[in-house]
C-alpha cells in the first residue's frame, strides 16, 4: 500500500513538473507573441500613420476649401439680407437723432412758454385785482355773450345807458329790449379777490376759507345790485335785474359754498347768471324777436291782402262796366247790320238788277252772336268764388 502511494505521488509530481514546464513554455510563448504583435502593430501604425495623415490632410484641405466657398456664398446671402436692414437702421438712427433734437428744442420752447405763461398768469392775476381792469373784463365777457346769442347792438340791446332816478345817476351795463316794448337790465359783476386768493392757496383748508369768502362777496354784490332798483327807472321792465358773473368757475364756486345764493338773489329781485345761462336767456330773447318779426310780416301780408282784395273788387267793377258798354255796342252793331241788310242791300241789289252799275254785289253785314262774359263775383283773398270756366254768361 505504501508502495502504491509512493508511486502515485511520484507520478503526480512528474505530472505537476510537466504542467509547470508547459505553463512556463506557454507563458514564454505568450510573451513572445505579445512582443511580436506589438512590434507588428508599431510597424503597421508607423507605416500607416503617414498615409493617414496625408489622406486626412488632403480631405481636410478639400473640406476646408468647400467650407470656405459655402461660407463666402452664405456670407454674401446674409450680407444681402442684412444690408437693407443696416441701411434702414442707419436711417432710423438719423431720424431718431433728429427727433431727439426736435424734442429737446420743443421741450425748451415749451419750458419758455410755460414760464412765460406763468408770468402772464401772475400778471393777469395782479391786473384782475384792480377794480377798473376787473370791471372792464366783465364788460368784455358780457359783450361776447351777447354776440354769441346773435343779438344786434342798438337794435336788440343798449350798452351802458344813463338812467336818472331818486338815487342819482345809474349806469347799468346792458339793457335788453324785449318784444312789446319791454326791457330787462343786465349788470356784470366780477368778485375776484377771494377767488384768486383761493387759487393761490397752499393747502385745502385755506382754499375752502377763501372760496367761502368768495360766496359772501357774491352775496354782497347781489344785495347792492338789488338796492339800485333799476326797474323803477324803466316803465316797461319786470321788477328784476340780471347779475352776470363773467366765468363759469366764479358761478359754480359761489354756489358750491352757498347753496342759497340763487334763492337769496330772487328775494332781492336779482337773477344770478353765468355765461351759459345768460346765453340761453339772450338766445330765447333773440328767438322771440325773430318770432315777433315773423308776426309783423304776417300782419303786413294781411294788410297787403286786404288792399289787394279791395283793388281787385274795384278793377272788377270797371271791367264789368266795360262789358256792359261792349254789350251795348254789340247790340247797336247788330241793329245797324240788320238795317243794312233789310234796307240798304235791297236797294243796292235792285240797282244792280236794273243794270245801273256793274260793280260787285255788296257783301252782307255779319251780325255778332258772341256776348261779353259776365265776371264771377270776387271772393276772399281776391280769388273767384268758382273755378275759371270758358262758358260765357249772357245778360
Instruction: Looking at the structure, give the CATH architecture of the domain made up of residues 135-273.
Output: 3-Layer(aba) Sandwich (3.40)
pLDDT value, residue 90: 83
How large is the greatest C-alpha to C-alpha distance in the chain, in angstroms?
228
- Segment 280-324, tens digit of pLDDT: 888 887 777 777 667 777 778 888 888 888 888 888 888 888 888
- Segment 210-259, tens digit of pLDDT: 888 989 989 998 998 888 888 888 777 788 889 988 888 888 888 888 88
Q: Give how far Cα 33 sits from Cα of 18, 45, 211, Å.
A: 22, 18, 119
Query: Is 177 within 8 Å of 122 (Cβ atoms)?
Result: no
Mean pLDDT of the region 129-152:
77
pLDDT value, residue 310: 86
pLDDT value, residue 382: 43
Nearest in space to 247 (alpha carbons), one of 277, 291, 267, 209: 277
- Segment 326-355, tens digit of pLDDT: 888 888 888 888 887 777 777 777 777 776
Coil, helix or strand at residue 156: coil
Average pLDDT, the chain: 75
pLDDT of 386 > 50? The answer is no
pLDDT of 75 > 80? The answer is no
Q: How far is 221 from 214, CA to CA, in rounded Å?
A: 11
* Phi, psi for 259 (deg, rounded to 5): -70, -15
Q: Is 213 exposed, middle or buried (0-12, 13-18, 19+ CB in 10 A)?
A: middle
Query: The whole model's pTM is what?
Result: 0.45
Q: How far is 120 from 112, CA to CA, in rounded Å?
A: 12
Q: How far is 195 from 137, CA to CA, in rounded Å?
A: 15
Confidence tier at 40 by pLDDT (50, 70, 90)? low
pLDDT value, residue 377: 59
DSSP 384: B
Q: What spatial distance separates the first Cα and last Cα of the chain, rounded to whole Å?
A: 201
pLDDT of 120 > 80? The answer is no
Amino acid at each position: 500500500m505504501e508502495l502504491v502511494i509512493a508511486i502515485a505521488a511520484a507520478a503526480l509530481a512528474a505530472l505537476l513538473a510537466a504542467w509547470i514546464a508547459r505553463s512556463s513554455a506557454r507563458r514564454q510563448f505568450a510573451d513572445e507573441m505579445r512582443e511580436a504583435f506589438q512590434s507588428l502593430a508599431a510597424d503597421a501604425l508607423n507605416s500607416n500613420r503617414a498615409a493617414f495623415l496625408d489622406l486626412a490632410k488632403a480631405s481636410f484641405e478639400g473640406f476646408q476649401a468647400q467650407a470656405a466657398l459655402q461660407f463666402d456664398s452664405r456670407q454674401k446671402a446674409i450680407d444681402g439680407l442684412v444690408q437693407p436692414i443696416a441701411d434702414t437702421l442707419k436711417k432710423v438712427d438719423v431720424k431718431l437723432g433728429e427727433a431727439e433734437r426736435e424734442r429737446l428744442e420743443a421741450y425748451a420752447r415749451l419750458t419758455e412758454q410755460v414760464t412765460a405763461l406763468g408770468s402772464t398768469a401772475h400778471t393777469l392775476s395782479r391786473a384782475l385785482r384792480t377794480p377798473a381792469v376787473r370791471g372792464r373784463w366783465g364788460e368784455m365777457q358780457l359783450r361776447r355773450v351777447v354776440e354769441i346769442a346773435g343779438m344786434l347792438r342798438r337794435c336788440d340791446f343798449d350798452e351802458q345807458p344813463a338812467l336818472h332816478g331818486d338815487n342819482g345817476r345809474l349806469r347799468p351795463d346792458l339793457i335788453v329790449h324785449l318784444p312789446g316794448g319791454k326791457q330787462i337790465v343786465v349788470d356784470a359783476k366780477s368778485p375776484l379777490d377771494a377767488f384768486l386768493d383761493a387759487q393761490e392757496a397752499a393747502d385745502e383748508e385755506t382754499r375752502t376759507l377763501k372760496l367761502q369768502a368768495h360766496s359772501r362777496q357774491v352775496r354782497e354784490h347781489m344785495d347792492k345790485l338789488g338796492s339800485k332798483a333799476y326797474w323803477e327807472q324803466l316803465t316797461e321792465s319786470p321788477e328784476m335785474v340780471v347779475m352776470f358773473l363773467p366765468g363759469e368757475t366764479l358761478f359754480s364756486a359761489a354756489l358750491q359754498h352757498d347753496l342759497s345764493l340763487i334763492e337769496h338773489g330772487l328775494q332781492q329781485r336779482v337773477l344770478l347768471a353765468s355765461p351759459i345761462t345768460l346765453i340761453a336767456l339772450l338766445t330765447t330773447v333773440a328767438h322771440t324777436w325773430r318770432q315777433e318779426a315773423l308776426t309783423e310780416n304776417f300782419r303786413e301780408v294781411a294788410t297787403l291782402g286786404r288792399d289787394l282784395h279791395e283793388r281787385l273788387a274795384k278793377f272788377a267793377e270797371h271791367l264789368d262796366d266795360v262789358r256792359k258798354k261792349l254789350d251795348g255796342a254789340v247790340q247797336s252793331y247788330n241793329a245797324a247790320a240788320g238795317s243794312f241788310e233789310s234796307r240798304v242791300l235791297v236797294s243796292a241789289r235792285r240797282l244792280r238788277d236794273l243794270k245801273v252799275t256793274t260793280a260787285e254785289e255788296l257783301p252782307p253785314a255779319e251780325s255778332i252772336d258772341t256776348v261779353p262774359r259776365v265776371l264771377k263775383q270776387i271772393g276772399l283773398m281776391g280769388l273767384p268764388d268758382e273755378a275759371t270756366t270758358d262758358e260765357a254768361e249772357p245778360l
